[in-house]
Amino acid sequence: MTESTRLQAEAKVGGSVVDLSITINGTDRLVSVEARRTLSDVIRDDLGLTGTHLGCEHGVCGACTVLLDGEPARSCLMFAGQAEGAEITTIEGLAAPDGTLHPIQQAMMEAHGFQLPCSPTIQTRPPRRSARNCPATCVAALGISQSWPVSKLRCA
């Protein structure tokens, strides 16, 4: 289904379409999306940035965490329109433009930080105490509590 037929279909079932203007990883983007799409849908499906993951889709697991105007936020718990005008950073925007990794990414690599559904977003919001709190309550994080604190220490 093309985007225009998709949006027409939405109007037919009574749903709004919103024109959303956001800055994502430093680039200004304008997208038309169904109002019931979450910010995470927009990031993944409309903007093609699939580093932001979806786990539970109700705010518990933390896999969808992005930086919203510099503050961590659950992209699955926001309707698209709520992000109007916001500056968003995803995992794809964490490294420097020349490819130099963010210190957290570098530490993750050096300490063999495991690849998990929440790994990309853990790097946008590193845990303060240990992986047991990270990024919220993701059960998978319990299994990596041996290696993640090391990653954390290296970037401190």
Partner 1 sequence: VIRKDGSVKAAPFTYHRPASLDDALALLAEYGDDAKVLAGGQSLVPLMALRMGKPEHVVDIGAVPGLDQIAVHDDGAVSIGAMVRHEQAKRSPEIARYAPLIRDTMPWVAHRAIRTQGTVVGSIAHADPAAEMPAVVLATGATMVATSTSGRREIAADGFFEGYLDTSLRSDEILTEVVFPAWPTNAVGSMVEVARRHGDYALVGLATKLVIDGDTITDAALSFFGVASTAVRVSVAEETLIGSPANAETFAAVAKIASTELQPPRDIHGTSAYRKHLAATLTVRGLEAAAARIGAAA
Phi, psi (5° rounding) for residue 136?
-150, -80
Residue 73 found at the interface with partner 1 (CB under 8 A) = yes
Q: Identify residues 11-30 at the interface with partner 1 (CB under 8 A).
A: 13-16, 18
Q: Which residue type occupies 112?
A: H
Q: Which residue type occupies 138?
A: C
CA atoms within 13 A on the CB side of 80: 23
Residue 48 found at the interface with partner 1 (CB under 8 A) = no
Among 7, 51, 57, 149, binds partner 1 (CB under 8 A): 57
The answer to whether 111 touches 68, Cβ cutoff 8 Å, is: no
Is 1 or 13 the residue whose CB approaches partner 1 more closely?
13
Minimum CB separation from partner 1 for residue 108, in Å?
A: 19
Minimum CB separation from partner 1 for residue 39, in Å?
A: 10
The answer to whether 22 touches 86, Cβ cutoff 8 Å, is: yes
Task: Report the Cα 128 to chain-centroid distance in Å.
Answer: 19
- Residues of this chain that interact with partner 1 (CB under 8 A) are 10, 13-16, 18, 34-38, 54, 57-59, 62, 65, 68, 71-74, 76-79, 81-82, 84, 125, 133, 135-137
